């Protein structure tokens, strides 16, 4: 509380000698269902992708951004609430052709995660790419500061000085990083593999055993095993990179339909040959060998 009133975003800005008239406030939420599903992980694990996502916009947003000195970036948290990502300095811009925009590697990676091309480029020959540089302003509150979002949900950007954004809460920890489930409860879609939190990766690098891939388009199954090196993390990282991990039965399939889980976790010092033998028993039990499944042997 502040002077008997709720603390607001504008008060926080003024405390730092930032004029709210100079600040455009974004509340991002992808319209594409596939990207929206993994967007929290994009924000928390891949800020480079998030920065690319918010660097280009439709013409009306471009016009507003051209007048803004700062961007206060939030993501949709719950209805009528927004979660703080960071305050960005609007340091420059350049004009790109649509082809140049869509050729950017990070843009292409976002498209693989479900972004539907470049919506801002529809019917246009050129667009503006903004250079938004993250500042240190309340960096420790990133993914923790929750404010109320006034007005209509679909109105996703506002000028700070024309609105009030009361502070709802400051969480003790990130609201975007999910606790890791036990190995028996862990499931991940293919898109998730590129966005795993660091503590998930650390655990997967220690776990060896037998895993399952289900093609959710038709229920066909593939059984594999992981051992040595970085164990499950190494194998799943390869699937994330290639989509098939070098397996013939998966090469002709769309990895966006794949769902990963662990069938059996083994002792970290179990010999590789024993892990491979366990893999064979699971293939028999699940009948995952061709023609009933996706294993070729």
Give the residue from 170, 203, 234 where a domain finishes.
170
Handedness of CA 67, 72, 73, 76 (dihedral sign): negative
Q: Are 213 and 250 in contact (CB under 8 A)?
A: yes
Give the residue from 170, 196, 223 where a domain finishes.
170
Q: What pLDDT, on a 0 to 100 scale, did the predictor assign at position 228?
A: 85
Q: What pLDDT, on a 0 to 100 scale, did the predictor assign at position 122?
A: 64
Q: Pick from 125, 124, 238: which is nearest to 190 by CA? A: 238
Q: Check whether residue 204 and residue 256 sit in a common domain.
A: yes
**Chain Cα centroid distance, residue 146:** 19
Q: What pLDDT, on a 0 to 100 scale, did the predictor assign at position 152?
A: 85
Q: Check whether residue 111 and residue 30 sit in a common domain.
A: yes
Handedness of CA 101, 103, 109, 114 (dihedral sign): positive
Q: Check whether residue 139 and residue 195 sit in a common domain.
A: no
Residue 247's domain spans which residues? Answer: 187-286
Residue 179: inside a domain: no
Give the residue from 136, 170, 204 where a domain finishes.
170
Q: What pLDDT, on a 0 to 100 scale, did the predictor assign at position 124?
A: 82
Q: What pLDDT, on a 0 to 100 scale, did the predictor assign at position 2?
A: 39
Indicate which CATH number applies to the domain containing 205.
3.40.1440.10
Rounded-to-integer distance, Cα 259 and Cα 277, Å: 23
Q: Check whether residue 114 and residue 239 sit in a common domain.
A: no
Q: Check whether residue 75 and residue 145 sit in a common domain.
A: yes
Q: What pLDDT, on a 0 to 100 scale, did the predictor assign at position 92?
A: 96
Per residue in 163-212, pLDDT tens?
Answer: 999 999 999 999 999 899 999 999 999 999 999 999 999 999 999 999 99
Mean pLDDT of the chain: 93
Give, as one character, the DSSP assignment of residue 180: P
Q: What pLDDT, on a 0 to 100 scale, did the predictor assign at position 118?
A: 58
Q: What pLDDT, on a 0 to 100 scale, did the predictor assign at position 4?
A: 39
pLDDT of the chain, 297 residues: tens digit per residue: 334 358 999 999 999 999 999 999 999 999 999 899 999 999 999 999 999 999 999 889 999 999 999 999 999 999 999 999 999 999 999 999 988 998 999 999 999 888 886 554 567 889 999 999 999 999 999 999 999 999 888 889 999 999 999 999 999 999 999 899 999 999 999 999 999 999 999 999 999 999 999 999 999 999 999 998 889 999 999 999 999 999 999 999 999 999 999 999 999 989 999 999 999 999 999 999 999 999 999
């Amino acid at each position: 509380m502040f002077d008997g009133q709720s603390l607001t975003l504008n008060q926080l800005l003024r405390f730092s000698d930032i004029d709210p008239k100079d600040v455009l406030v974004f509340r991002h939420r992808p319209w594409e269902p596939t990207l929206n599903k993994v967007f929290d992980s994009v924000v928390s694990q891949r800020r480079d992708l998030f920065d690319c996502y918010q660097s280009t916009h439709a013409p009306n947003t471009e016009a507003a951004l051209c007048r803004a000195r700062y961007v206060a970036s939030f993501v949709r948290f719950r209805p009528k609430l927004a979660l703080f990502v960071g305050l960005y300095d609007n340091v420059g811009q350049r004009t790109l052709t649509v082809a140049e925009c869509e050729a950017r590697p990070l843009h292409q990676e976002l498209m693989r995660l479900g972004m539907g091309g470049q919506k801002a480029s529809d019917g246009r020959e050129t667009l503006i790419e903004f250079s938004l540089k993250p500042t240190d302003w309340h960096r420790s509150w990133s993914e923790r500061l929750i404010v109320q979002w006034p007005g209509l949900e679909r109105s996703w950007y506002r000028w700070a000085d024309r609105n009030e954004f009361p502070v709802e809460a400051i969480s003790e920890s990130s609201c975007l990083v999910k606790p890791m489930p036990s190995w028996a409860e862990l499931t991940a879609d293919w898109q998730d593999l590129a966005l795993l939190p660091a503590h998930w990766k650390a655990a997967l690098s220690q776990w060896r055993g037998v895993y399952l891939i289900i093609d959710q388009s038709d229920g066909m199954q593939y059984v594999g095993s992981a051992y040595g090196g970085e164990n499950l993390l190494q194998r799943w990282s390869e699937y994330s990179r290639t989509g098939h991990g070098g397996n013939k039965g998966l090469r002709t399939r769309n990895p966006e339909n794949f769902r990963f889980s662990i069938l059996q976790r083994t002792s970290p010092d179990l010999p590789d040959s024993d892990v491979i033998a366990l893999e064979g028993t699971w293939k028999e039990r699940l009948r995952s060998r061709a023609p009933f499944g996706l294993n070729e042997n």
